[in-house]
Amino acid sequence: RSIVVVPLRHQYNSIGALRVLSSHPGAFDDADVQTLQVVANFMSAAINQTVAFGAKQALLAEHTRTIVALRESEERFRSAFDHAAIGMALVAPSGEWVKVNRSLCAITGFSESEFRTLYFHSLTHPEDLDAHQFQVGQLLSDEIGAFQLEERYFHKSGSVAWVFLSVSLLRDGKRKPLYFIAQIQDITERKQ
């Protein structure tokens, strides 16, 4: 009997063997062994591609699950933000209103699109602006993590609304300010 065994490899590891038997002694010469080695190399390459394809499929499935989870999380945040019982806003470090919810629009009388043309200081009563700016400066310089103030906002109609304002600052991984997160409660009745 004759036997030729050629290893099948995945990367640097042996994962099996290609074995050919013959009932005749000395049935295989060097050319047969080389041919079997070539066949084993093709089989190994096919196995490696199948494993790589499976790994890519698993990675793609995980990536898809992550995207779906991110979208669901975004939708939950958006829904909570939009339907909050108090006014909420994202404000750029420059003072531009980035995003506002319905409650804030009701407090001020301005629509969401009108907010995009305003800066926070254009809504804040001039007598309250210095205290507000001081707190914002401390927040930007990392001296405080958040602040709360009672201040007055101008309503679109020209009237004044008293608000209780809570502000924190969201930063990126390098501590660069991204935007302020503001929660605004109408306390006009209480103040009156």
Which pLDDT value is given to residue 155?
94
Which pLDDT value is given to residue 136?
94
Q: Cβ(98)–Cβ(90) under 8 Å?
A: yes
Residues 6 or more apart from 91 whose CB is under 8 A from it? 97, 98, 120, 179, 180, 182
Which pLDDT value is given to residue 32?
86
The whole-angstrom separation of Cα 182 and Cα 45 is 58
- How many CA atoms does the CB half-sphere of 11 hold within 13 Å? 2
Divide the 192 residues of the chain into consecutive groups of 10 and give the mean pLDDT of each group: 84 81 87 88 84 86 91 90 92 92 95 91 92 94 94 94 96 92 94 86
Which pLDDT value is given to residue 6?
85
Which pLDDT value is given to residue 2?
85
- Other Cβ atoms less than 10 A from the Cβ of 161: the count is 21
Q: Cβ(90)–Cβ(82) under 8 Å?
A: no
